[in-house]
Amino acid sequence: MRQRHQVGLGLLILSVLAGCDGPQSVFSAGGADAIQLNHLFTVMLAGAVVLWVSLNGLFLYVTRRRPERMSRKLAEGVIIGGGIVLPMVVLTSLLAWGLSIMPEQRAQGQGLTVRITGEEWWWRVEYFPPGSETPIVAANELRLPADARTEIELRAGRVIHSFWVPGLGGKTDMIPGRVTRMSLEPLTPGIYRGQCAEFCGASHALMALNAVVLERGGFEQWLRAEAAPANAPEGAGRTIFFREGCGACHALRGTPAASAVGPDLTHFGSRTSLAAGILPMEREALVSWIANPGAHKPGARMPAYDHLSRTDLETLAAWLEELE
Ligand SMILES: [Cu+2]
């Protein structure tokens, strides 16, 4: 019976650990900051294990192996050594080391600054290349160059949020009326998933984003494309977009649509996910989103367009996908 319990427990632990990998995991670290945090975790864990094993070992020793009366000297030795000296040495060294690596976690960026604003329930993302005052506006996806440290400036719209891409680094709160900062140095190109980490309302759990790490050259190329105005050709899709008033909330740079109420859609078609990381960037998902955003994200601040015909929705979606 007991053995069966142990096997069951082992399997449970294994299955829980199996969930520890993946694009949104601190254990799949692809950035200098996340690697360092992992290191910090491992060393702290090792310290905790040393304390736990030594203290429980002492406890077992005095209660099981030598249950007869102890000499006063030995008892004092156990209390002072195990109760004061050992924890002090272990905890003080962990604290000293932990504090010593803090400056690295707050390092300055090397040129590019990205301003990310937490909105309900999406991310406004603005790129400021070195020396530029006017941002390149994007949304719901963060692109970063590998092997460079990028300064991240965090803000919030109406309520608090928290920015966290576990594979790249620690989390930092986004607070209305304040600017908080962090920096990230991704090392391995790839897609890392981030998630709002501070309860911000009905759709807090549906506020994610992909952080796409590109090689230096690829990033420069992408940023140049992102800075360009929208390629929004004339046609039925464009007509529906303006007829339905989508431009009252969304911007398509280079067209009359210039509102910053909702996510910028200038290069919407090049994003890797839809609606802040919750839907795949596919025709069907896009049609369904436009027809009824609230069905995907309760409380979404975009009206439903379920009065549009299926053909109109598809035409509009196809046109939006071409905004690369
Ligand atoms: Cu949030």
Asked whether 302 and 293 are in contact (CB, 8 A), the reply is: yes
| Ligand 1 centroid to residue 162 C-alpha, Å | 6
Asked whether 212 and 188 are in contact (CB, 8 A), the reply is: no
| Ligand 1 centroid to residue 297 C-alpha, Å | 13
| Ligand 1 centroid to residue 10 C-alpha, Å | 36
Structure confidence by residue, pLDDT tens digits, 274-302: 999 999 999 999 999 999 999 999 999 99
| Ligand 1 centroid to residue 170 C-alpha, Å | 16
| Ligand 1 centroid to residue 275 C-alpha, Å | 13
Which residues, other chains included, contact 181 with Cβ-Cβ below 8 Å and sequence gap of 6+? 151, 152, 153, 154, 172
Say whether 236-321 and 113-216 share the same fold.
yes
| Ligand 1 centroid to residue 121 C-alpha, Å | 6
For residue 120, the number of C-alpha atoms closer than 13 Å in the C-beta half-sphere is 16
Band (pLDDT 50/70/90 cuts) for residue 78 is: confident
Structure confidence by residue, pLDDT tens digits, 259-270: 999 999 999 999
What are the residues facing 280 on neighbouring strands? 273
Band (pLDDT 50/70/90 cuts) for residue 67 is: low
Q: How far apart are CA 45 and CA 313, in angstroms?
A: 53
Residue 131 burial (CB count, 10 A)? 6
In the predicted structure, residue 233 carries a pLDDT above the cut 90:
no
| Ligand 1 centroid to residue 45 C-alpha, Å | 30
How is the chain split into domains, by residue range?
Answer: 22-105, 113-216, 236-321
3 state SS of 259: coil
Tell me, what's the pLDDT at 2? 60
Q: How far apart are CA 267 and CA 136, in angstroms?
A: 11
Q: Pick 273 or 21 by higher pLDDT.
A: 273
| Ligand 1 centroid to residue 237 C-alpha, Å | 31
In the predicted structure, residue 77 carries a pLDDT above the cut 70:
yes
Q: How far apart are CA 228 and CA 210, in angstroms?
A: 22
In this structure, which amino acid lies at residue 301?
R
Average of per-residue pLDDT across 101-109: 83
Q: How far apart are CA 195 and CA 107, in angstroms?
A: 23
Interior angle at CA 174, CA 172 and CA 178, nearest 5: 120
| Ligand 1 centroid to residue 202 C-alpha, Å | 10
Indicate the pTM of the whole model.
0.89
Structure confidence by residue, pLDDT tens digits, 305-324: 999 999 999 999 999 999 98
Tell me, what's the pLDDT at 171? 94
Q: How far apart are CA 244 and CA 123, in angstroms?
A: 24
Tell me, what's the pLDDT at 181? 94
Burial class of 279 by CB neighbour count within 10 A (0 to 12, 13 to 18, 19+): middle
| Ligand 1 centroid to residue 139 C-alpha, Å | 14
Q: Which two tokens stand for residue 302?
A: 């975009």
Tell me, what's the pLDDT at 19? 64
Which residues, other chains included, contact 269 with Cβ-Cβ below 8 Å and sequence gap of 6+? 281, 320, 321, 322, 323, 324
In the predicted structure, residue 144 carries a pLDDT above the cut 70:
yes
Tell me, what's the pLDDT at 12? 75
| Ligand 1 centroid to residue 264 C-alpha, Å | 18
Asked whether 116 and 249 are in contact (CB, 8 A), the reply is: no
Find tokens 């449970």 and name the residue.
12
| Ligand 1 centroid to residue 277 C-alpha, Å | 13
Tell me, what's the pLDDT at 17? 66
| Ligand 1 centroid to residue 163 C-alpha, Å | 8
Q: How far apart are CA 196 and CA 203, in angstroms?
A: 10
| Ligand 1 centroid to residue 116 C-alpha, Å | 12
Phi-psi region of 276 (alpha: psi -120 to 50; beta: other; left: phi over 0): left
Burial class of 23 by CB neighbour count within 10 A (0 to 12, 13 to 18, 19+): middle
Which residues, other chains included, contact 122 with Cβ-Cβ below 8 Å and sequence gap of 6+? 139, 140, 207, 262, 263, 275, 276
| Ligand 1 centroid to residue 176 C-alpha, Å | 12
Band (pLDDT 50/70/90 cuts) for residue 65 is: low
Band (pLDDT 50/70/90 cuts) for residue 72 is: confident
Q: How far apart are CA 312 and CA 323, in angstroms?
A: 17
Q: Which of 151, 147, 170, 145 is nearest to 110 (CA)?
A: 151
| Ligand 1 centroid to residue 200 C-alpha, Å | 5
Band (pLDDT 50/70/90 cuts) for residue 61 is: confident
Domain spanning 113-216: which CATH class is it, in words? mainly beta
| Ligand 1 centroid to residue 233 C-alpha, Å | 34
| Ligand 1 centroid to residue 46 C-alpha, Å | 34
Q: Which two tokens stand for residue 313?
A: 């929705």
Asked whether 180 and 154 are in contact (CB, 8 A), the reply is: yes
| Ligand 1 centroid to residue 174 C-alpha, Å | 9
| Ligand 1 centroid to residue 8 C-alpha, Å | 37
| Ligand 1 centroid to residue 208 C-alpha, Å | 8
Which residues, other chains included, contact 220 with Cβ-Cβ below 8 Å and sequence gap of 6+? 145
Q: How far apart are CA 233 and CA 248, in angstroms?
A: 19
Asked whether 156 and 118 are in contact (CB, 8 A), the reply is: yes
| Ligand 1 centroid to residue 152 C-alpha, Å | 17
Per CATH, is 236-321 categorized as 2.40.33.10? no
